[in-house]
Amino acid sequence: MLLRDEDDDDKCDLILDQYLPYRMAVIAHLMSTGFSKRYSKDFDMTIGEWRVMANLGHLEPQSGHEIGAHSHLDKVQISRAVARLEKKGWIQREGDTVDRRRNLLTLTPEGRRVFNSIGKMALDFEDDVSASLSTEEYAALDRILRKLSKRAESLI
Q: List residues near DNA by CB under 7 A.
A: 46-48, 63-66, 68, 74-80, 82-83, 98-103
Residue selected from 57, 66, 79, 80 as contacting a copy of itself according to rule CB under 8 A: 57
Residue number with CB closer to DNA (64 or 111):
64
Check binding of 33 to a copy of itself (CB under 8 A): yes
Residue selected from 69, 76, 83, 144 as contacting a copy of itself according to rule CB under 8 A: 144
How far apart are alpha carbons 90 and 111 in whole angstroms? 4
How far apart are alpha carbons 15 and 22 in whole angstroms? 10
- Letter for the amino acid at 33? T
- How many other CB atoms are found less than 10 A from the CB of residue 85? 26
In the chain the first and final C-alpha atoms are separated, in Å, by: 21
> At its nearest, how many Å lie between a copy of itself and the CB of residue 95?
26
3-state secondary structure (DSSP) of residue 103:
strand
By a kind-dependent CB cut-off of 5 to 8 A, residue 122 interacts, out of a copy of itself, DNA, none, with a copy of itself
3-state secondary structure (DSSP) of residue 114:
helix
CB 105 within 8 A of CB 83: no
Residue number with CB closer to a copy of itself (93 or 129):
129
Check binding of 156 to a copy of itself (CB under 8 A): yes
Residue number with CB closer to DNA (68 or 114):
68
| H/E segment holding residue 106 | strand 103-107
Residue number with CB closer to a copy of itself (83 or 152):
152
Residue number with CB closer to DNA (76 or 141):
76
Check binding of 120 to a copy of itself (CB under 8 A): yes
> At its nearest, how many Å lie between a copy of itself and the CB of residue 97?
28
- How many other CB atoms are found less than 10 A from the CB of residue 68? 20
